[in-house]
Structure formats: C-alpha cells, structure tokens
Structure 1
Amino acid sequence: MKPIIFCDFDGTITNTDNIISIMKKFAPPEWEELKDGVLQQKISISSGVGDMFSLLDSDLKDDIIQYVTDTAGIRPGFYEFVEYTKQANIPLYIVSGGMDFFIEPLLHDILPKDSVFCNNAYFDKEKIYIEWPNACDDQCKNDCGCCKPSIMREIAGESDFKLVIGDSVTDFEAAKKADFVIARDILLEKCNKEGIPHQGFETFYDVIDILKQREEVWA
C-alpha cells in the first residue's frame, strides 16, 4: 500500500484555529452561538462558518490578514515535515475548512496550489461571503463546506494507505475514512472514544517520527 496524507490546516499546521481567532478579534457576540452549534454538530459547517463570516465587514480584509499573519504561528516541524514527505515521495494534500485569503500567505507557496483544498472568501459586498468549491459528493450529506471525505475519495486510490492529520470535529468524518489518524485536541478525544486507529501529536517532529515508525506498513 502506498501512503497518502490529508492534513488539516487551522489548529493543525497553525498553532491556533484561525477562524476562531478572527471571530474573537473582529466579530460581534452572535458568532459564539454559531460556533457552538458547529462544534456540537447541531449546525452544518458550511452554514455556521458562512454565517460567522457574514457578521464581518468586507473592509476589514487587510486588518484580518495582518492579524492572522501576526498571530497564527506555524506549528514546529511543519517545514521539515513537508521536506520529509517530498524526500519519501509521499503525496501531501492540505484539506481545510479555512479560507484562501489567509491560508495562501501562511503557506508561503511551499506546496503546489493544486495540493491545497480550502474555501474561498469574497470581499466585494458589504459583508464577507464564502463560496464552497469543494462541496460534498453524492456519498456525503453533511453539508461540510470543504468536504474532506469527498476530496479523499476523489484523490486516493484503492491501494493507497490514507493518513489523516487533524485536530477538530471538522476532521472527524475524514478520520473515519482513514487507515490511520495522527490527531490532537478534540479529534484525539473522538478517535479514542470511537476506537479509530490513531496516535497523538503535538509538533510535526512528532508526526515525522510516527511516519518513520510506520514505514514498514507501506514498504
């Protein structure tokens, strides 16, 4: 089996969940109820996140980008992890419920654009609005926004050993489709509860070590 990696962005590659960080800084209090609805899986991701961004004025764009750039922070070992996947010839895809306008500058073009799947934010109206170019396929009815299981089905072949790296409830559906999960935070708790094969991590140096330990699986 050949390894293929699907890695989350917010709270996984970055030290913080950037959407939550943006809302805490710029949004009115109504965003909290929407966030709670998404995390409790009472509101779909696309509906909740779309409504959260609709609370923000479009003219905040530059301020938001600067704020995320200043505060997000790339998790230690990420650049070395990318280099490891290149040297080991392991395909790496970033699959994120985050937004293009802050993901692209934070990744600094270290991966090809066709390896990054995320949502698109637009600022040509009074309020920010979101479009979802990676919607659910006919096998998913969760209204995910950026549907990670659908992307996995599109890209991964039957002979691929699917690895998912993530941190949140938004990664859980992808984790259920994976052969192995590398998890932290809420996703780690869910994998423990559901008995999904996994290992925890804090930095991408941990991720590199986990992958090296499992190389015999796909040797």
Structure 2
Amino acid sequence: MQKIAIVTDFDGTLMEQDVGNILMSELGVDAEPEVVEVSGLYREKKIGSLAWIETAYPMLAYKKREVDEILARVQLRDGARDFIAFCKEQSVPVTILSDGMLYYIQQILTQQHIEVERIIGNPITYLEDGQFQFGVQNENTACKWCGCCKASVVKQLKEEGWKIIYIGDGSSDYYGSGFADWVFARSSLARYLSEEGTAFYPFQTFRDVMDVLVANWNEFVNGSASRRLTGRVPAACKFPV
C-alpha cells in the first residue's frame, strides 16, 4: 500500500506572493516602530518567527475589511491547481503547513475552490462578530522559536510511517523539511540547502514539481527516487524528551 504524503508551505510556495508580507506592507504594519525593531532582530536571527508574529499580527485587529480586499487580489502559483488535482487522483493527502495566519489561508482556498486534507497554521482569525482572535500553533515546549512548529508536524507524520515530499521556500521550511524524504525548494530555502550541500529538487512553478513527480512517480512511491534524504535534522530543532 502506498504511504506517501505531500506537505507544502503556503506563502510564496502554493501562493505566488507571500500573503502575510503583503498584508503587513499594504496595511502599514511593517512600518510600526515595534515591528521595525523585531524585523531587524529576526533578519539577524536573534529571534525566531514566534516573537515577530506576537508583535506584528495583533496589529491586524479590526482590519478585516482591508484584509479581505487584499486577499481578493492574490494568486496561486502557476500549476498549483493542477498539482492539487494530481494529488487527489493519486489519493495522496496534502497538508498545507504555514507559519502564517489561518484566516487568510482558509479565505483564499475557499475563494479558489481548493480543497486539501489538512491545513495547519497559526490560529489567527476573525470571528463571526468581527472580533480578532490571536494564537500560535507551536505547542512544542522544548522550542519556542517558530510560531508554527513545522518540524513537529513533519516529524509526527514520519513516525506514523509516511514518506514525505516537502515543498517550500522560506526559513521556517528549513526546519520542516529537515524531517522529509524529498524536498522541492525555491528562494531562501533553496539557498540554505545549497549552502549546506543538501540534495533537493529546485522549482519555480508547480509545473516544475509535476514534471519531476509524473516522470518518476513509481520511484517516489516505492522510495527509490533520487535525492532522498536520510538523517538530516536541523541542529536548532529541539523536542521534549
């Protein structure tokens, strides 16, 4: 029986744009002094995304209308819809794993008529009465670096016996991809992996991903596809003992 699953990032991966960054920029959040300060610390790797999220995202409170107007303009990455359809045809579950805001992920997927098996992100949303609800996904008591602990999610899937194809583009994906079997990477994730000599499949669109998967699907299913990773665990990731 096939036991293979897809885990894909959302911002800058499944989406053409980094939706969270667009919201912060267009609504002026990234210009607020507190956010400017934590953004600098984040770029210098002195803090993780958790501290940045706790500072920036509460500033979206009471801005649902403005947020929704921006969400109506963003786009899926080229080939993403066909990729999701391919996964459904192959009965391969897809998990969207994001360090972003659950509200905009669900809104966009609904607008685009995209359905996946699971969506995991930071539980930041607007309630039915318009009130703002803030939270983070990270329940990893041993590490509070990321808002969403992608490493914990992928690690759990591996422990359940899944072979994981991970698709991502950013720094949080570096941690999540550490527990995957194969990685498709672009942007800063590709740069990180190249610098450490880790094998991956580069991509710019999901048509690139499809080209590799369709041509080698049997090998991915049986585990023999090239560039498979073994034992790569990011040193920064820690878990309860």
TM-score (norm 1): 0.87
The residue number in structure 1 matching 2:88 is 86
2: CA distance, partners of 1:12 / 1:179: 18
C-alpha RMSD over aligned residues: 2.3
Q: How does 1:1-219 map to 2 (within 5 A)?
A: 2-26=3-27, 27=29, 28-30=31-33, 31-54=35-58, 56=59, 58-70=61-73, 72-108=74-110, 109-112=113-116, 115-122=118-125, 130-132=134-136, 134-137=137-140, 141-157=143-159, 159-215=161-217, 216-219=219-222
| Structure 1 pair 57–18 and aligned structure 2 pair: CA distance change class (3 A) | closer
2: CA distance, partners of 1:115 / 1:51: 27
1: CA distance, partners of 2:120 / 2:144: 18
Matched residue type, 1:101: Y
| Structure 1 pair 80–144 and aligned structure 2 pair: CA distance change class (3 A) | same
1: CA distance, partners of 2:212 / 2:36: 36
Can you list the C-alpha shifts for 1:18-59, whole angstroms capped at 9, x where unaligned? 1111111111343233233334322121111120123x2522
Deviation at 1:148, TM superposition (A): 0.8
Can you list the C-alpha shifts for 1:49-105, whole angstroms capped at 9, x where unaligned? 120123x252211111211221x2110111100010111222210000111221112
Q: Give the number of the structure with larger relative contact order, counting CA–CA contacts within 8 Å between residues 6 or more apart.
A: 1
Matched residue type, 1:66: E
Q: Is the 8 A contact 1:53 1:129 kept in 2?
A: no
| Structure 1 pair 213–161 and aligned structure 2 pair: CA distance change class (3 A) | farther
Query: Max radius of gyration: which structure?
Result: 2
1: CA distance, partners of 2:160 / 2:11: 28
Deviation at 1:217, TM superposition (A): 3.4
Q: What secondary structure is seen at the aligned counterpart in 2 of 1:4?
A: strand
Matched residue type, 2:196: E
Matched residue type, 1:18: V
Q: Is the 8 A contact 2:98 2:121 kept in 1?
A: yes
Unmatched tracts of structure 1, length 5 or more: none
Number of equivalent positions: 213
Can you list the C-alpha shifts for 1:129-151, whole angstroms capped at 9, x where unaligned? 6202x31435x514321111111
Can you list the C-alpha shifts for 1:153-192, whole angstroms capped at 9, x where unaligned? 2233464221110111111101221111101100010011
The 4+ residue runs of structure 1 with deviation greater than 6 A are: none
